[in-house]
A and B are shown apart, each in its own frame.
Chain A
Amino acid sequence: MSGAPVLEADVEVDRREFAVRAAVRVAPGERLALFGPSGAGKTTVLEAIAGLVPLRRGSVRLDGHVLTSTQRPVLSVPPWRRQVGLLRQDPGLFPHLSVRENLAYGHGVDPDGSELADLAATLGIAGLLAAMPGRLSGGQQHRVALGRLLLAHCRALLLDEPYSGLDASLRRTLTALVVTMVAERGVPAVLVAHELADAQAFAQQLAVLDHGAVLQVGGPDEVVREPASRRVAELVGYLGFVPVVPDGAGDYLVADRARAGSSDRLTAGIHPDQVVAGRVPGRGLVLRGPLTGCRPAGAGWEADILCAGQTVTVRLPARPGTDDGELTVTAAGPPVFGAGDAAVPPGQDRPVTGPAAPRSTAS
């Protein structure tokens, strides 16, 4: 493999319902996750990079070489010359070839060579080389598919929700394996995921995609803690939005219903995991309201509170106790959204810009 490839894509692809627009730049060994709901256009971006769908406008570059360009000179390098590996949920092993033959499918791979044997040992499939893919478990098939891409010396790795059909423990193991391999090989990697946990476990950069547009790009924790808009907050797991007003001291109070209907309304996003039980005024926004639902969730409890006319779901470590049927919790530093649903920077009472825009470009 020559040099350290950088993947740059600025693509616009027509789909039946809407156009997908995305710009990403992934450095060698860097991992970017495209996160968003089903049908947001995530897979389309990967397919555009792989040369499987035509672009309406844009370009794809890998290691400085233009793979696709809609500007003169118009160019589209065919998929078989791109050296871009794509791993989908279906591992796509060739059922008529043994594991060894699948691994050696790429050009120039010696089926009996030490590289194949070493990688098979690393992936934990050394004992399966003579087996047919139909005999393998889902996890084993994914290991073989990953090994096949790595042996083919792909210069960029595209992962289209590869492990979404597997159990959580296996997903963690395989994700860790890919992370290690990407670091060792120094290739840029892009993962598509509709589960936030999968995206966070993999990525150094997270791009939130919705309805064909990138809404925000940032660190995997930053996007969750500081969503750029209410829509991003909804996508990354905020389960309640309550009207708030500034308290004059740089903080917020829950607004009453009359105030909530005004045109310059502000809303605070409540993430269920960013909540502590009881009133802790210096810590964030205090929410109090009737407890309308309560159920076990993992090792803790999930509770629904009716607050300022809005249902807010919170997760607490223990079953919540109520005071006359009402529950009080404190949301730690909740993001606040103004008109146009854009986030309001801390210390201000209105958003800097109008409608939500990507906070940064993926780089």
Chain B
Amino acid sequence: MSWAASPAAAAGGAVRGDQPGQPGGPGRAWPVPRSLRSASGALSVVAALVIWLALLGPVITLLAHLSFGAIGHALSYPGALDPLEVSLESGGVTLAVLFAFCTPLAWMLARGRLPFPRIWEAGLLCSLLLPPLVIGLLLVFMVGPYTPFGELIGHFNLTATNTFLALVIAQVYESAPYYVLGAQAAFDSVDPRLEQQAALLGDRPRRVFRRVTLPLAAPGLAMSLAVAWARAMGAFGAVIIIAYHPFGLPLQIFTTLQETGLASALPYALVLLVVALPLPLAAYVWSARARGRRRG
């Protein structure tokens, strides 16, 4: 019998924390994890560690090649933090656009509310597979100043090239497929019978969505938004074609690299990492806690 399955725990009155005599308690050796108790298990863990470190290699290298002095020097120029401001603002607007317009699409895909669903999904995969640079090229032909869309927004003194709007459009196109497919999976994970049960208990569809669907899909939606945020913050291929100005962080890194060399670009790389990482991490922690709470 495991501790978690004790009668007290089963009755909902579980006593948390260490219990007397539990492995790991005072006076007892720390137990060896089960995965390390055999040679093959230990070898697997070592192999996994090597792969993990290799994946983290660029981050480790970045940290190893930076000093606080260099960061301070690079970021002390007037306007040095402007790209950060641009990236945060455009990233925020991009997330808002994705949540407002792509969440309903993801829900309809997950609930089979669209005819010929495979065609819709294939379209999303196409946009996912397009290289960002190609997206940028095609966006020029789609929303450039001499296109119908460009002429239309021109009436409102707007233009979709080399503007904040163009930056948002490029970021939306680079991140939307990741968000829609992730959000679709999040809604798919909600049992439709729970929604049915909520309706039979008196909830209208909109209320069912708010009280049942959205809270249950929230951890998955948060993770999808986090992925979309990371994609938007790092968007470069489409951005360099259609929104060279205003500079966001990726373009700042690129131009600094070209103009003053590798070492000068590293502080901006760190800033990009520091800005892009907290939201995914927070989403991950929150999702894990929400799932843990459901398990009780």
Contacts and interface: CB of A to CB of B under 8 A. Distances in A.
A82 B202 CA distance: 8
Contacts of B204: 78, 80
Contacts of B296: 131-135
B96 interface: no
A79 B294 contact: no
A92 B197 contact: yes
B214 to A, nearest CB: 10
Contacts of B215: 96
B64 interface: no
A148 B203 CA distance: 14
Interface stretch (A83-91, A314-322, A326-334): A83-91
Contact of B11 (A106, A127, A152): A127
B199 A128 contact: no
A99 B13 CA distance: 13
A96 B12 contact: no
Interface in A74-110: 78-86, 88, 90, 92, 94-96, 99, 105-107
A99 B12 CA distance: 10
A103 to B, nearest CB: 11
Given A86-B197, A132-B294, A107 B10 contact: no
Contact of B194 (A92, A106, A128): A92
A336 interface: no
A94 B14 contact: no
A177 B198 CA distance: 23
Contacts of A85: 200-201
B10 A132 contact: no
Contacts of A94: 194, 197-198, 212, 216
Interface in B189-213: 191, 193-194, 196-204, 211-212
Contacts of A82: 200
A137 interface: yes
B193 A92 contact: yes
A159 to B, nearest CB: 13
Interface in B246-296: 290, 293-296
B1 to A, nearest CB: 15
Contacts of A106: 201-202
Given A79-B196, A85-B200, A95 B216 contact: yes
A335 B115 CA distance: 53
A10 B294 CA distance: 41
A136 interface: yes
Interface in B7-29: 9-14
A52 interface: yes
B89 to A, nearest CB: 33
| Main secondary structure on B side of the interface with A | helix
Q: How large is the interface on B (under 10, 10 to 19, 20 to 34, 35 or more residues)?
A: 20 to 34
A82 B199 CA distance: 10
A85 B293 CA distance: 28
Interface residues of A, number: 34
B249 to A, nearest CB: 36
A190 B22 CA distance: 50
Contacts of A148: 201
A323 to B, nearest CB: 54
B199 A79 contact: yes
Interface in A120-170: 127-128, 130-137, 148-149, 152
A50 interface: yes
A337 B12 CA distance: 56
Contact of A127 (B9, B13, B196, B212): B13
Q: Which of A84, A86, A95, A152 has the most CB of B within 10 A?
A: A95
Contacts of A132: 293-296
Contacts of B293: 96, 132
A149 B13 CA distance: 25
Nearest to B293: A132
B199 A90 contact: no
B194 A80 contact: no
A88 B201 contact: no
A137 B12 CA distance: 10
A96 B220 CA distance: 14
A245 B198 CA distance: 58
A137 B10 contact: yes
A86 B200 contact: yes
A166 to B, nearest CB: 16
B201 A128 contact: no
Nearest to B12: A131
Interface string A12-40: 00000000000000000000000000000
Contacts of A52: 196
B200 A90 contact: no
B200 A50 contact: yes
A84 B197 CA distance: 10
Nearest to B203: A80
Given A95-B216, A106-B202, A134-B296, A88 B193 contact: yes
A107 B198 contact: no
Contacts of B11: 127-128
B160 to A, nearest CB: 41
Contacts of A50: 200
Nearest to B13: A127
B212 to A, nearest CB: 6
Contact of A135 (B12, B197, B198): B12
Contacts of B295: 132, 134-135
Contact of A136 (B12, B13, B14, B201): B12
The 5 closest A-B pairs by CB, nearest first: A131-B12, A135-B296, A132-B296, A92-B197, A95-B294
22 contacts: A50-B200, A80-B202, A86-B197, A86-B200, A90-B191, A92-B193, A92-B196, A94-B194, A94-B212, A96-B216, A96-B293, A99-B12, A128-B11, A130-B12, A132-B293, A133-B294, A134-B295, A134-B296, A135-B12, A135-B295, A135-B296, A152-B201
Given A94-B212, A94-B216, A135-B12, 5 more contacts: A80-B200, A92-B193, A96-B294, A134-B296, A137-B10
